[in-house]
Structure 1
């Protein structure tokens, strides 16, 4: 395994970047929030055995 091309000097910033890696932020409008729990999940009308 070769050495990296750069040397990390700001470890505080580097560690914060690692913590934030893969995070996803998005906004949900009020209408979507109101509908979020009102709908039932799955097919509630028919059960076939």
Structure 2
């Protein structure tokens, strides 16, 4: 059985806060909505992807 060590403090501090994660998700949704509006009406749907 493998034993996993806890992430170091450096790794934990590199993770975005919940507020930042929420802002990123909100921005992604906004950009996807905008892309959808720009392609409407169209026969082919947009391809969803992660926006950084």
* Common topology (TM > 0.5): no
Calculate the TM-score normalised by the size of structure 1. 0.31
Higher-Rg member (1/2): 1
Calculate the TM-score normalised by the size of structure 2. 0.30
